[in-house]
Amino acid sequence: MNRGWVAVALLLTSTEAASQTPSTQTTRFGAARTLIQSGLARESAPGLAIAVARGDSILWEEGFGWADLERRIPVTVNTPFYLASTTKTITATALMILRERRRLDLDRPANDYLGAARIWSPRWNANGATVRHLATHMSGITTFALDCPTSTPDCPFPSMAELIRRYGVVSRPPGESFDYSNLGYDILGEVIAHAARKQLGAFMRDEIFAPLGMKHSSLGADTTDTPLPAVPYFWGRGRVPYSRRSFAASSAYSSAHDLVRFGQLHVKVRPPGARAILSDAALDTMQWSVVSAGSQGSYGIGWWVDSSRFGYRSVVAQGGTSASATWMRLIPSERVVVVVLANKGVSFASDVADAVIAELLPRYAAGLDSTRRTPATSAPAPAAALLDTSFVGAWTGIVRTESADVKMQLTVSDSGAARATFSSRSGDSPGRARFADRLFRLNIAGDLTTTDSTGGQRMYFYLRPGERIMNGAVTLGVSAASGLEGRVSYWVELERAK
């Protein structure tokens, strides 16, 4: 860790210049304040903003540290921060506005609202993937996180139509299983734009941000207004440029003050000066129409849902990258909203939210305290199980990449040891195989050396077994050398070798 950054963080958290004047007594929320100050110093994070509301009152909002470390621009409660995946909750809100206006039906095929570029599948009926499936990550569209390298944020980027053509493949039966997908929400943004007959960013501005009085919010960074957005700071890289792209999954910017007003809407409170944009029934649909996300919990429409957190039902919008952390926790029954925003990927945002809620709700505090007093225990690691004979042996097939089909051969032993060869590269690659959650999972070293997949470290296959066949998706890394970076997923077909 850079010692200079640590020194700066320690200095800024110990001086009056490090924070905006708070809107309440500094003796209140002392535990949360201590967590913020110690966390900023410990993780060498430039800045953070927090806002807390109960009912129609904002109880605390404050900025800590720097929105721009080098230029010494302090964080304020109006500083826009990159929201990462919390954008999905705003996108889901836009979706529900159109649904209430009868501009779209959650249970119609998503393809009914798309243009020429439509989601597709070599095996499953892609029209079985509904708008609701996209909104709840149940469409069968899988992992995806493609973007420009941070050093060249304005690189030529594929259009959404091209991204759908390349990667919009339904790799599992729609509605069968949860798979958190950025591409699924980006496609949902296209659904919204087509139904609204307006670009998604403009629709959010006119139908969400303006009615709620969110004056410092936008889809994509807005550097034409003041205050400027908080500069993102990557772990290990320092300052990086703003992202101006407008992705429905992850590109919104908002201030702590704005986002707490957005949260008030979702606990059925109208902030002062705001207009109603959704009915209580629509808000209930977002928070109560949940699907199982397996070990991750439950997911509604744009919200993570915790049905019993220290005695309360809670919903969360959360986003994070190496250069950002966003945490918004709601306790709807108590009309409590907590927003924490940072311009680095810090680890303590959820702890800050818990400390705030514990001060407001004694039962929550007692539950939180009991978890701290109960030592965590870890179960012994289970013994490695042998693979079923239906998976053992030789397989052959293709990976359907953005440019061409790559031939693949795979051998699997009963211990799970695997080796794969690909027509796009020389030599073979070792890996491990296992069966879990109804999927054959394969972890193979290396990449495919195709246009969009060069320089990755591992390939992760998620295949649905059938009668002598397996098909599904492989997710692999994309290096900056290709002009883009991130992760993409391709369709895979394998059959038992004869």
> Using one digit for the tens of pLDDT, what is the confidence trace for 319-342?
999 999 999 999 999 999 999 999
Residue carrying the six token digits 């009615």: 211
Q: Which residue blocks in 19-115 are alpha helix, DSSP H? A: 30-42, 87-100
Q: What is the mean pLDDT of residues 375-402?
A: 82
pLDDT tier for residue 311 given thresholds of 50, 70 and 90: very high
How far is 444 from 124, CA to CA, in rounded Å? Answer: 26
Q: Residue 287's closest CA among 464, 135, 138?
A: 135
Q: Is the predicted pLDDT of residue 367 greater than 60, yes or no? A: yes
pLDDT tier for residue 467 given thresholds of 50, 70 and 90: confident
Residue carrying the six token digits 């060498």: 44
462 - beta bridge partners?
441, 473
Q: Residue 123's closest CA among 166, 81, 170?
A: 170
Domain boundaries, the chain: 1-374, 393-496
Q: Is the predicted pLDDT of residue 379 greater than 70, yes or no? A: no
Residue 274 pLDDT: 95
Q: How many other C-beta atoms are found inside a 10 Å radius of the C-beta of residue 23?
A: 14
Residue 175 pLDDT: 96
Residue 310 pLDDT: 95
pLDDT tier for residue 473 given thresholds of 50, 70 and 90: very high
- Beta carbons within 8 Å of 302's beta carbon, 6+ residues apart: 88, 89, 90, 91, 92, 93, 95, 135, 286, 317
Q: Is the predicted pLDDT of residue 257 greater than 50, yes or no? A: yes
Q: Is the distance from CB of 66 to CB of 79 less than 8 angstroms? A: no
DSSP string, 114-170: --S---B-SSS-GGG-BHHHHHTT-SS----EEE--TT-TT-----HHHHHHHH-B-
Cα 74 → chain centroid: 27
- The yes/no answer on whether domain 393-496 falls in CATH 3.40.50.1700 is no
Q: What is the mean pLDDT of the chain?
A: 90
Tell me the CA distances in angstroms from 185 to 21, 182, 192, 356, one per residue in order: 37, 5, 10, 31
Q: How many other C-beta atoms are found inside a 10 Å radius of the C-beta of residue 466?
A: 10
Cα 292 → chain centroid: 17
pLDDT tier for residue 4 given thresholds of 50, 70 and 90: very low
CATH number assigned to the domain with residue range 1-374, chosen from the 4 options 3.90.1520.10, 3.40.710.10, 3.30.9.10, 3.30.460.80: 3.40.710.10
Tell me the CA distances in angstroms from 438 to 84, 172, 435, 456, one per residue in order: 30, 11, 7, 26
Q: 374 or 213, which is more confident?
A: 213
Residue 260 pLDDT: 98
How far is 369 from 219, CA to CA, in rounded Å? Answer: 38
Residue 231 pLDDT: 95
Residue 358 pLDDT: 97
Q: How far apart are the first and last CA of the chain?
A: 54
**Letter for the amino acid at 264?**
Q
Q: Is the predicted pLDDT of residue 179 greater than 70, yes or no? A: yes
